[in-house]
Structures are given as structure tokens and as C-alpha cells.
């Protein structure tokens, strides 16, 4: 039975169970002797009955559904190994071809061997589907019967119901942990496979990056090299340029808006900065690649400099502009948290406004500002689309902002888009880079959040 | 000299510094605004031509015999008929002097590859047209379009130009005979992607974005609200809850591409869900937007005054009833605002979707959440990579459409906030 139909049936059972339980309790209440001792509305009994019909069955359905694909795959594998059918090297691709045959035409287009496998596959598929249907539906029916039998006016229905809901809420909150665990495991798992092929040290400290593996063994010049140092340097170069643009501009904007600007100017300017923050990165990338980069190249050429058409400067500049609102809103928060008394004390002693800001406010707010800069740095390091569109692909080990460099994120995207088998060192390298990226940004975030929190507490 | 004089002598310099400092602040803001202005004008000026389309008006004799069709032909015959023939005849009739094979081929390329489908659809919708002579406006090739819009410089030497003198002569002649017209480019909004710039449209991408956001909303809204309620109202103070909070804060700052890696490893490779499908994209984006919505919802719930809860509890409601009947409805405007902002973020997101294969070239318009499709930002990315000049204006136009949706969503969020915001 199709999953949608199955779920629909379960909902039907739940609805039925709800009405029956409510009916039972309403009738019981009518005959109740001590009417003033009734504490729970009949609908709560209905809810409990409905949930007992629904939740266990849904959970079993979910587990079986997740387990189905691996089970079917392993069954077909064992079938193939018992017969003398020769499957191709990549079993996943082989199985995919068979599974995607859903029309009569496609089935007849399969080779004889594959038709045999296909038959076996449809049998297994049908059996597992039947098993799931029977198990889930019978569980649900059992729960309906059990619920209707045992629910009576003494059941603490509301408390049970609220406990269940609280559990569901807790589950929803725990998804954040699940996501983190998922991220860590997925990048870690593939990375360990990568580090099985390429030593960690040569990845971390190698200076040559050319992930193209040789297709033939005797091919010249395509021995894969996975030294990630050029990528790290490129990432840092572009992030550094971005920070050089965004930190002074963002900080000064925040100072002007919070300390100097009139209310009217502030209410007009803040939305503009917010628009800057809301523009998708792909738009910035397009602008960087098609407008800023050629402009910088032309300017450079007129000054007699040779500028690459995908210079790090262009990507860094545009990224810097993108981060301005981020830096500015963080610094704004931090500056407004400095107690008014510090400001007034300094002004009262005769300092000018700018002296107050430079000598009192900024030193007082420094930890918060540093935290904000760290967060901005982690944004810049993880930014993808601008560099994918405006930075280069070739891994040059250079710190010259006029040359093309590549970054970690660019390499992840180029390694994983396009057709290649999943198990090659090339694709696994992307996960190793992802791990580096995740760890770096995680460390930056943890430090930044810690610094900002410490700073806030100082003035509370 | 006493101290007063010392201070007075320094005053001028200090005031100058004060003014300089203020100017620096002004300069920073002006830079940001100037940049935004340049960005928008650059994109809009590049995009505007894309909303107009050049058409070539031809008098076509839809000769049934030439098409191998008759009045009894069914749909399959129509699909197989070569409508190019009659369009070519019409072009030749306009320029009878063209006789050489190579010239003929050049002449035929004045109209778009899509012209034959245009004619076919027309005839299929009204078979009576067979055998008649009609005046029809055909979509012009992207090079012709570029010449008419003036984006190809005619004064360049012929070898540096994308279009040769011969073609220019034809175009001028057509124009002088009023056979060239520009109309609003509806195709841009009704077509899917195409290799031909003049045929390419964003309908597929818009629908792909719509389905993806639908999945994202369906998953992230309930989960985020539930999580926010739990953390604000029910969570005990313990290590586990602290751990959840740390995780949420960190996830909000994890680079989006890492979520793409998660999606690729878990959903595509482990669960073997289909590549390029909005359902996978939606799941990945909802994981990404969850922290945003949770944080916004929490502050909305926190803003509800305790007196409301206490009143409900005092009247005998259970904690759960107080939250679901009173606190949640009161905080709904704030939660919705946060959700819309999260959705706007998801709409503009590109990198994680690249990882799960939504970057494929897809012509068909997706019909459901499992059809392979692409989304608006990725369409922008794909077109920006294309070498054809015609795609440049399409890219900018797609960006304008994307920005339009973003602005609309943010405007709704601001409206909601203004309308329902309560000062307790």
C-alpha cells in the first residue's frame, strides 16, 4: 500500500478512535454519581485514544520505511551472489538502473540478466511493502481496541495527553542536536575515508592542490595532489580583504547611526542597510563577476598593473560590502549596551563626542566588537556563492590580491557538482574540506559567542 | 601659560578631529548606500531589455501538402510535421534574391529555434489554419534581438561582431518593411529553461522555488514553534537544555554549504532520495532556517507578559492550556514575522542546493515536490555562467524577479509586525 494511503488510513483510525472514546466518556459522565468530581473534559480522552492509535504506528512506519531501502538492497545483493549474474562494479548504480525501471518500456529495455534481477526486486519490494502495511495497520487497530477498552473516567487523560505533547515539543527542540550530530557524522565519516587514502599531514600541509585523478594509469600530469594549503591561504586572503572593508565601514556606520544621526536619518538609513543584508549572495556574486571584477581589471591596467580577471580583490571587496550590515548591527548592539553613565561622565569632563567614542566607548565595548569581528570572519570564510562566481578555480599559492586564488568553499562546490562516482578521493576530499570549514567556523563562533556573553554580563 | 589657555589652544584641533570623525561615519554609510544604488541600477539597466522581445512578422502559407498533413491528421502527425519548412518558405519569399545554400542557412537562422513550435501549437489549437495564409509574429533569434535592442555595436568591424553584414542588411530590410516588432516578453514568465536565450524563461525556476519553500515551511514552521514553546515555557534548567541552546546558536552560524554536505551525505546517499528534487531541497533548507525561526519565535513568546499566563493559570487552566490558548495566539504575529524572514532567507539560498544536485539543466516545468527542478537563485547562477550574450539580460531579469519576491515577503513581514504588534 502506498505510504500516503497508509497514513490516511491511520488518520481515519485515529479519528474513529477519538469519537468512540469521547462518546464513551460522555455517556459515562451522564451516569456519573458525583458530578462535582469530574475534572477532565471528554475531548481529552478522545485525544489520548487518537494519539495511541496514531503515534506508535507512525513511529514503526518511519523506522520500517528507513530500513526498507538497505534491506531491499542487501536482499538483491545476496540474490545476485547466489546466481551467476554479473553485476557491474558499482552496485549502487546497477541497482538504481533497475529501480528506475517503472514503465513497461523501460523494463523491456533492460538486458536479460537485469530483467531477472528486476523480477526479484519487484518481489522483494512487494513483500516488504505488504509486511509494512500489515504490521502498521494491525498495530494501529490493536491500539484502538486497547485504548477504547481501557479508557474510563478514572484515566488521568489530560495529564497523559499533556505529557505526550510535552514529549513531542521536546523532540522538536532536540532536532537541533540531531542536525548537529548529522552534520558532524556525515562530514566526519566521509573525511575518515578520505584520510584513509590521503594522509592527514599531506592534506593539511601540502602546498599543491590538483584534485584531477588520472583516468589511465600512464597519463601525464594528473597524479592527484591534495595539499590544501593554497585553499586555506586563498580563503584567508579573500576573508581578510572582506574584513578590511567591512569592519571599518560597518563599525563607523554603527557609530554614526547610534551616536550622531538624528532619529529621522536613522529610520531612513537602517532599512537601506537591511536591504543590503537581505540581497541573496548569488546576486552579489553576479555583480562581482560581471561588474566589479572587469572594473578593477581595467583600473589596474590603466595603472600598468596586471590584474587577473578573477582577482581576489573583486571577490573580497564585494564580500566586504555584503558583511557591512552584519558588522554594523552587531556593533550597534554592543555600543548600546555600554552604560549611559560612562558616556555622560566622559562628556561631563569636557571630552568631545569623538573623544568619548574613541577613548571611552570603544575600549569599553572592545570585547563585544572583537566578538562581532570573529562572527563576521566566520561568515566570510563560509561564504560560498560570491567566491564561486567571482574567484578562480586554479589553486595559486599567493597573497597578491590582484591574482586569482581559490577558496575552500569554491573547491567543495566544484568537486561535488558535475558527474562523478561518489567514492572517488575527489568527492571525498570535498567532505574533508567541509570538515575543516565546519570546525573552523565552529571554533570562531564558540569563541565569539563566549566573548560577547562575557561582555554583556559585565554591564548587567 | 595656564591650563585654560592650553585647553583653548587645543580646541580648534579637537573640533577639527570631531568633524573629521563625524565625516568618516557619514562616509561609511554613504559608501554602503552608494554601493546598493550602483548594484541595483546596474542590475535593473541590464535587466530591462529582457522584458521585451523582438519578433519577426512573416506571412506564412501553412501549406498542408508541404507539411505532409491533411484535415484528418491527428496530434501525433502534427507533432511529427516539420513546420520549419513553411517558415523557411516564408523567409525565402521575403528575400527571393537569396539562393546559395550557406546564405539560405544564415537566412533561416533569423527566426528562433522556437518558431516552429510556436507555429505548431497555433495549428494544433486551430486545425482550420491548415492551407491558409497567415500573418504571424515569430520570435527572433537572440542575435537579431540583440541588434534590434542595440546591444550589438554595428560600427564594429565585421569580424569582431557576432552578426555579419549580410544579416544586418536583412534585419534592416525587415525593419524598413515593418516586419520587425518588439512586444512584451511573456515567454520569459511562461517558459522553462532553454539553451536558446530567446526561449528561456523562469517559470520552472519559480515553481521549483515555490515547491521547495512549501516543503521548507511545512517542516520548519511547526518544528520551530514547538521547539520555541518548549524552550521558553517547559524546559527545566539542566545540562541537556543548555546543550540544545548551544546547538541552536551554533547552527545559526554554520555556513550554509555545510548543510548542503549534510543533505548530500544523509538524504541523497544514505536514504537514496531523488537528486534535484524540491523535497530534498526543502528538508535541507528547513534545517537551515530552523534556528532563525526558533530564535525569532522565542523572543516573540518571551515578549508576552507573565500576567497573561498567570491570569490563565489562576482561572484553573493547566500550563499547557495557558500556553496554547493564550500565550501562543498572543505571540503569533511575532512568530509569523520571523517565519517569513526565515523563508525569505531560504528563497535566496543557493549553495546548499548546489550540493544536492538542483543545479542540473531542467527544461520541464516541475509538477510536484519530487520532480527534478531548479530554483530561482540557481537559475541565476546557471545563466550567469552561460557564454551567450542573451543570457546576461536574462540573468539580470531573473535577479529582478527574485528581488521582487524577497521585497514582497519582507513587506508582508513588516506589515504584519506593524499591524499586530502589541505594546504590552
Distance in angstroms (rounded) separating the CA atoms of residues B229 and B325: 13
d(CA B215, CA B39): 32
Classify the C-alpha dihedral A7-A10-A16-A22 as positive or negative.
Answer: negative
| B156 has a pLDDT exceeding 90 | no
Contact A342, A361 (CB under 8 A): yes
Nearest-Cα distance to chain A for B321, in Å, is 9
* Residue B302's CATH number: 1.10.3720.10
Q: Which residues pair with B181 in a beta bridge?
A: B55
Q: How many distinct structural domains can be found in chain B?
A: 3
The sign of the dihedral angle between the CA atoms of B179, B184, B187, B193 is positive
Q: How many CB atoms lie within 10 A of CB B402?
A: 25
Q: B144 and B92 in one domain?
A: yes
In this structure, the answer to whether residues B270 and B209 fall within a common structural domain is: yes
Q: Which of A252, A287, A385 sits opposite B24 (nearest CB)?
A: A252
Does B46 map to a domain? Answer: no
How far does the CA of residue A114 sit from the closest CA of chain B (Å)? 20
The angle, 0 to 180 degrees and rounded to 10, between the axes of the packed helices A362-382 and A229-255 is 140
Name the least confident of A93-107, A389-403, B51-65, B159-173.
Answer: A93-107
Question: How many Cα atoms are found within 13 Å in the side-chain-facing hemisphere of A133?
Answer: 14
**Ranges of H-type helices in B183-238:** 187-190, 203-229
> What pLDDT does A216 receive?
54
Binary contact (B265, A248; C-beta < 8 A): no
- Report which of B349, B351, B374 is spatially closest to residue B362, judged by C-alpha positions: B374
* pLDDT classification of B126: cutoffs 50, 70, 90: confident
Phi then psi for B98, rounded to 5 degrees? -80, 120
- Supply the pLDDT for residue A217: 52
Based on the domain organization, do B266 and B384 belong to the same domain? yes
Q: Which domains does chain A have, with CATH numbers?
A: 3-154 (no CATH), 225-459 (1.10.3720.10)
B288, closest residue in chain A (CA to CA):
A179
Residue among A412, A288, A280, A380 at smallest CA distance from B377 = A280
- Count residue pairs from A and B with Cβ separation < 8 A: 250
Interface of B with A in 63-82 (CB under 8 A): none
| Boundary-marking domain end, from B150, B184, B218 | B184
Report CB contact under 8 Å: A279, B26.
no
The helix or strand, by DSSP H or E, that contains position B182, with its residue range, turns out to be strand B180-184
On whether residue B411 sits in a domain, the answer given is: yes
B44 lies in some domain: no
Q: Domain check: are B3 and B115 in the same one?
A: no
Contact B28 A187 (CB under 8 A): no
Q: Which residues pair with B134 in a beta bridge?
A: B60
The residue among B294 and B186 whose pLDDT is bigger is B294
Specify if B180 maps to a domain: yes
Chain B closest-CA separation from residue A218 CA (Å): 32
Percent of chain A's residues with pLDDT above 90: 39
Cβ distance of B264 and A416 shorter than 8 Å: yes
What is the residue-averaged pLDDT of chain B? 87
Same structural domain, B248 and B276: yes
What pLDDT band is residue A255 in, cutting at 50, 70 and 90? very high
- Which one is predicted more confidently, A343 or A422? A343
On whether ipTM exceeds 0.85, the answer is yes
Out of B153, B184, B215, a domain closes at B184
* CB nearest to B247's CB, from A176, A354, A375: A176
Query: Between the CA of residue A193 and those of A183, A187, A196, A431, B268, what are the distances in Å?
Result: 16, 10, 5, 10, 18
Q: Please indicate, yes or no, whether residues B99 and B13 belong to a single structural domain of this protein.
A: no
Lowest-confidence region among A84-88, A247-251, B286-290, B346-350: A84-88
B392 lies within 8 A of chain A by CB: yes
Question: What's the domain range around B165?
Answer: 52-184
Residue in chain B lying closest to A73 (CA): B272
Is residue B280 within 8 A of residue B268, CB to CB? The reply is: yes
Q: Are residues B110 and B20 in the same domain?
A: no
CA–CA dist B213, B349 (Å, integer): 11
Checking if the pLDDT of B92 tops 80, the result is yes
Q: Domain for residue B80, yes or no?
A: yes
The rounded distance, in Å, linking the Cα atoms of B314 and B304 is: 17
Residue range B291-304, pLDDT digits in tens: 999 999 999 999 99
Dump pLDDT digits (tens) for A174-225. Answer: 998 999 999 999 899 889 988 888 888 888 888 888 876 555 555 555 567 8
Note whether A276 contacts B235, CB cutoff 8 Å: no
Each residue of B189-206: pLDDT tens digit? 888 888 888 888 899 999
Asked if A426 and A224 count as a contact pair (C-beta separation under 8 A), the reply is yes
Do B29 and B56 share a domain, yes or no? no
Q: What is the mean pLDDT of residues B140-144?
A: 84
Q: Are B163 and B152 in contact (CB under 8 A)?
A: yes
The beta-carbon neighbor of B350 closest among A248, A281, A289 is A281
**A249 contacts B249? CB cut-off 8 A:** no
- Domain end call among B155, B184, B213: B184
Inform me whether the pLDDT recorded for B356 exceeds 60.
yes
A interface mutation test: which of B238, B261, B275 has the most A CBs within 10 A? B261
Find the closest chain B residue to A447 by CA distance.
B250
Say whether both B105 and B240 belong to one domain: no
Same domain, B274 and B385: yes
Q: Are residues B8 and B69 in the same domain?
A: no
What pLDDT score was predicted for residue B98? 80
Q: Has residue B39 been placed in a domain?
A: no
| Nearest neighbour of B318 by CB, restricted to A69, A158, A168 | A158
Q: Mean pLDDT for chain A?
A: 86
Both B67 and B7 in one domain: the answer is no
Helix (H, G, I), strand (E, B) or coil at A399: coil
**Percent residues over pLDDT 70 in chain B:** 99
Query: What element of type H or E holds B56?
Result: strand B52-61
The CA distance from B284 to B345, in Å, is 13
In B, residues 396-415, which contact A (CB 8 Å cutoff)?
396, 399, 402-403, 406, 410
| Chain A residues with CB-CB distance to B359 below 8 A | 417
Does residue B269 belong to the interface with chain A, where contact is any CB pair within 8 Å? yes
Residue contact B380–A282, C-beta within 8 A: yes
Coil, helix or strand for A37? helix
Here the cell at position B372 is 527534478
- Tell me the average pLDDT across A380-400: 88
d(CA A416, CA A344): 56
Residue closest to B47 by CA, chosen among B163, B188, B144, B194: B188
Amino acid at each position: 500500500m502506498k505510504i500516503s494511503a497508509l497514513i490516511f488510513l491511520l488518520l481515519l483510525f485515529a479519528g474513529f478512535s477519538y469519537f468512540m472514546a469521547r462518546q464513551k466518556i460522555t455517556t459515562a459522565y451522564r451516569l456519573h454519581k458525583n458530578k462535582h468530581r469530574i475534572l477532565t473534559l471528554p475531548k481529552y480522552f478522545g485525544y489520548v485514544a487518537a494519539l495511541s492509535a496514531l503515534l506508535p504506528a507512525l513511529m514503526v512506519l518511519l523506522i520500517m520505511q528507513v530500513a526498507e531501502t538497505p534491506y531491499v538492497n542487501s536482499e538483491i545483493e545476496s540474490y545476485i551472489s547466489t546466481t551467476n549474474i554479473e553485476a557491474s562494479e558499482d552496485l549502487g548504480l546497477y541497482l538504481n538502473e533497475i529501480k528506475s525501471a517503472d514503465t513497461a518500456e523501460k523494463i523491456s529495455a533492460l538486458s536479460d540478466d537485469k530483467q531477472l534481477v528486476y523480477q526479484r526486486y519487484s518481489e522483494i519490494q512487494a513483500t516488504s511493502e505488504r509486511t509494512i502495511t500489515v504490521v502498521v495497520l494491525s498495530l494501529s487497530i490493536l491500539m484502538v481496541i486497547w485504548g477504547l477498552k481501557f479508557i474510563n473516567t478514572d484515566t488521568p487523560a489530560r495529564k497523559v495527553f499533556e505529557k505526550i505533547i510535552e514529549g513531542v515539543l521536546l523532540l522538536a527542540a532536540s532536532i537541533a542536536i540531531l542536525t548537529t550530530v548529522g552534520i558532524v557524522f556525515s562530514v566526519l565519516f566521509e573525511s575518515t575515508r578520505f584520510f584513509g587514502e590521503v594522509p592527514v599531514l599531506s592534506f593539511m600541509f601540502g602546498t599543491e592542490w590538483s584534485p584531477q585523478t588520472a583516468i589511465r594509469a600512464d597519463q601525464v600530469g594528473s597524479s592527484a595532489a591534495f595539499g590544501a594549503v593554497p585553499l586555506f591561504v586563498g580563503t584567508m586572503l579573500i576573508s581578510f580583504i572582506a574584513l578590511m572593508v567591512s569592519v571599518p565601514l560597518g563599525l563607523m556606520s554603527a557609530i554614526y547611526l547610534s551616536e550622531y544621526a538624528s532619529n529621522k536619518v536613522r529610520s531612513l538609513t537602517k532599512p537601506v542597510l537591511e536591504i543590503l543584508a537581505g540581497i541573496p549572495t548569488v546576486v552579489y556574486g553576479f555583480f562581482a563577476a560581471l561588474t566589479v571584477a572587469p572594473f578593477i581589471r581595467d583600473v589596474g591596467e590603466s595603472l600598468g598593473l596586471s590584474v587577473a580577471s578573477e582577482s581576489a580583490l573583486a571577490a573580497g571587496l564585494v564580500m566586504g560590502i555584503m558583511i557591512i550590515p552584519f558588522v554594523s548591527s552587531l556593533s550597534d548592539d554592543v555600543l548600546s549596551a555600554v552604560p549611559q553613565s560612562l558616556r555622560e561622565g566622559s562628556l561631563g569632563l569636557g571630552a568631545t563626542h569623538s573623544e568619548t567614542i574613541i577613548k571611552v566607548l570603544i575600549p569599553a565595548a572592545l570585547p563585544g566588537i572583537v566578538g562581532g569581528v570573529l562572527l563576521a570572519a566566520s561568515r566570510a570564510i563560509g561564504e560560498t556563492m560570491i567566491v564561486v562566481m567571482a574567484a578562480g578555480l586554479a589553486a595559486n599559492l599567493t597573497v597578491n590580491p590582484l591574482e586569482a586564488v581559490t577558496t575552500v568553499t569554491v573547491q567543495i562546490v566544484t568537486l561535488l557538482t558535475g558527474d562523478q562516482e561518489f567514492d572517488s578521493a575527489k568527492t571525498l576530499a570535498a567532505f574533508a574540506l567541509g570538515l575543516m570549514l565546519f570546525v573552523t567556523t565552529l571554533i570562531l563562533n564558540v569563541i565569539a559567542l563566549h566573548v560577547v556573553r562575557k561582555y554583556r554580563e559585565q554591564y548587567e | 601659560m595656564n591650563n585654560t589657555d592650553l585647553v583653548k589652544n587645543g580646541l580648534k584641533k579637537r573640533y577639527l578631529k570631531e568633524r573629521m570623525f563625524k565625516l568618516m561615519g557619514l562616509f561609511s554609510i554613504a559608501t554602503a548606500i552608494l554601493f546598493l544604488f550602483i548594484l541595483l541600477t546596474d542590475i535593473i539597466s541590464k535587466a530591462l531589455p529582457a522584458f521585451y522581445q523582438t519578433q519577426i512578422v512573416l506571412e506564412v502559407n501553412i501549406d498542408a501538402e508541404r507539411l505532409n498533413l491533411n484535415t484528418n491528421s491527428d496530434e501525433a502527425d502534427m507533432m511529427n510535421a516539420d513546420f520549419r519548412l513553411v517558415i523557411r518558405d516564408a523567409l525565402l519569399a521575403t528575400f527571393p534574391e537569396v539562393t546559395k545554400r550557406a546564405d539560405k542557412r544564415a537566412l533561416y537562422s533569423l527566426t528562433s529555434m522556437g518558431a516552429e513550435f510556436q507555429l505548431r501549437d497555433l495549428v494544433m489549437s486551430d486545425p482550420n489554419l491548415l492551407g491558409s495564409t497567415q500573418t504571424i509574429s515569430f520570435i527572433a533569434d537572440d542575435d537579431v534581438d540583440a541588434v534590434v535592442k542595440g546591444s550589438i555595436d554595428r560600427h564594429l568591424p565585421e569580424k569582431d561582431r557576432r552578426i555579419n553584414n549580410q544579416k544586418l542588411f536583412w534585419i534592416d530590410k525587415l525593419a524598413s518593411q515593418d516586419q520587425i516588432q518588439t512586444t512584451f516578453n511573456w515567454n520569459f514568465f511562461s517558459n522553462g529553461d532553454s539553451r536558446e536565450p530567446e526561449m528561456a524563461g523562469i517559470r520552472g525556476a519559480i515553481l521549483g522555488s515555490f515547491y521547495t519553500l512549501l516543503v521548507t515551511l511545512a517542516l520548519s514552521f511547526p518544528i520551530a514553534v514547538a521547539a520555541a514553546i518548549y524552550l521558553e515555557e517547559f524546559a527545566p534548567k539542566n545540562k541537556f537544555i543548555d546543550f540544545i541552546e548551544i546547538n541552536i546558536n551554533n547552527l545559526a552560524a554554520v555556513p550554509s554549504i555545510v548543510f548542503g554536505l549534510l543533505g548530500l551525505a544523509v538524504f541523497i546517499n544514505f536514504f537514496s532520495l531523488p537528486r534535484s528534487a524540491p523535497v530534498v531541497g526543502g528538508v535541507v533548507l528547513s534545517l537551515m532556517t530552523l534556528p532563525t525561526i526558533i530564535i525569532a519565535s522565542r523572543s516573540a513568546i518571551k515578549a508576552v507578559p507573565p500576567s497573561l499566563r498567570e491570569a490563565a493559570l489562576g482561572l484553573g487552566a493547566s500550563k499547557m492550556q495557558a500556553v496554547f490558548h493564550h500565550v501562543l495566539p498572543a505571540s503569533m504575529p511575532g512568530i509569523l514575522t520571523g517565519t517569513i524572514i526565515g523563508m525569505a532567507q531560504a528563497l535566496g539560498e543557493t549553495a546548499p542546493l548546489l550540493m544536492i544536485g538542483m543545479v542540473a539543466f531542467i527544461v520541464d516545468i516541475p509538477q510536484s515536490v519530487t520532480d527534478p527542478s531548479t530554483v530561482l537563485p540557481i537559475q541565476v547562477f546557471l545563466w550567469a555562467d552561460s557564454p551567450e550574450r542573451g543570457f546576461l539580460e536574462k540573468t539580470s531579469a531573473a535577479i529582478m524577479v527574485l528581488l521582487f519576491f524577497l521585497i514582497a515577503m519582507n513587506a508582508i513581514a513588516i506589515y504584519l509586525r506593524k499591524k499586530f504588534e502589541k505594546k504590552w
